[in-house]
Amino acid sequence: MRGKESASRSDIYARITEKIIADLEKGVRPWVKPWGAHNARGRITRPLRHNGEPYKGMNVLLLWSEGMARGFSSAMWMTLRQANEFGAHIRKGESGATVVYASRFMKTETDAGGCEVEREIPFLKAYTVFNCDQIEGLPDHCHRRPEPIGDDPIERVQHADRFFDNTGARVRYGGDRAYYSPVTDRVQLPHREQFRDIASFVAVRAHETLHWTGAPQRLNRDLSRYHRDRTDRAHEELLVEIGASFLCADLGIVPELEPRPDHASYVACWLRVLQADRRAIFSAAARAQRAVAYLHDLQPRAQSGRAAAV
């Protein structure tokens, strides 16, 4: 039985990773697909559960990809049982999307010395959800598109500015490069007027602020080899790219749609990493989620509650 469960988990990792690899090989970064789609109207949001709670981590990528591939307009997803609880039903012939649940349980084992020890066992479970566009008989609120943050783009940018100011990340303006410096613990950004538009400025600030979360006194990601090892750099950039897409969705801001000049080399490294380790994308999405949550937790209580509800 244990072998079958292990094989099933491996199949889940492999199946999902292969889908991500296929997108990257086409030059498509799956985490920006919702904004790049010509038919995306209204506000882009994270996929939502039946109760309006946003999905997290890997499931955001899975459901964004599935929703765009199949042309769904609703952001909400639910299981068959949840649909039935609303008195609704899945339309005949519809197929669902795969999402995953990752957790751990404790198991008592006997070690070589005959002593009982507690061991933490990770597990991954896949289950199926359906988009509200596939379900008949749902209440109206399940089909309602999320409202934009603020009435106009300027208000959304101001909201995002307040969000980043509240993190306490120090920013220095000038020059023509954007980066985070671990030595000075500071984000460096060109002046706003040097960007294509104000949304691009905010998106780049999101990207660099996510690098800032990796400092030892914060989430303590090892950035010591970032400038010396291409693979280590690719791991960090993958985490930050995914995290920036989550954060931009939370803030109602369009992320960086155009790849940076060094993205071609990153994509090549990402492909090598994903092909060698079928769990790498899951790890990157989980760490990206943690970094985004860290920034949300730095917000004043009232504003943090608003961010969590979007």
pLDDT tens-digit map of 278-294: 889 999 999 999 999 99
Residue 124 pLDDT: 77
Residue 304 pLDDT: 43
CB-based contacts of 221: which residues, under 8 Å, 6+ apart? 213, 214, 236, 239, 287
CA distances from 35 to 82, 188, 245, 249 (A): 29, 26, 10, 10
User: pLDDT tens digits, residue range 81-104?
Assistant: 999 999 999 999 999 999 998 776
Residue 254 pLDDT: 85
Segment among 54-63, 100-109, 128-137, 288-297 with least mean pLDDT? 100-109
Residue 299 pLDDT: 96
Residue 302 pLDDT level (bands cut at 50, 70, 90): very low
Residue 156 pLDDT: 82
Q: Which two tokens stand for residue 225?
A: 């080899």
Backbone angles phi, psi at 234, to 5 degrees: -65, -40
- Give the separation between CA 157 and CA 160, rounded to whole angstroms: 5
pLDDT exceeds 80 at position 310: no
Residue 42 pLDDT: 59
Local structure of residue 186 (DSSP, 8 states): E
Residue 8 pLDDT: 52
- Give the separation between CA 245 and CA 33, rounded to whole angstroms: 10
Instruction: Please tell me the pTM assigned to this model.
Output: 0.85
Segment among 9-18, 145-154, 219-228, 283-292 with least mean pLDDT? 145-154
Residue 308 pLDDT: 38
pLDDT exceeds 70 at position 307: no
Backbone angles phi, psi at 224, to 5 degrees: -65, -30
User: pLDDT tens digits, residue range 172-215?
Assistant: 999 999 999 999 999 999 999 999 888 889 999 999 999 999 99
How would you class 7 by CB atoms within 10 Å of its CB: exposed for 0-12, middle for 13-18, buried for 19 or more? exposed
Residue 43 pLDDT: 72
Strand stretches in the chain, DSSP E: 77-78, 89-90, 97-110, 116-131, 135-136, 171-173, 179-181, 186-189
Residue 309 pLDDT level (bands cut at 50, 70, 90): very low
Coil, helix or strand for 7?
helix
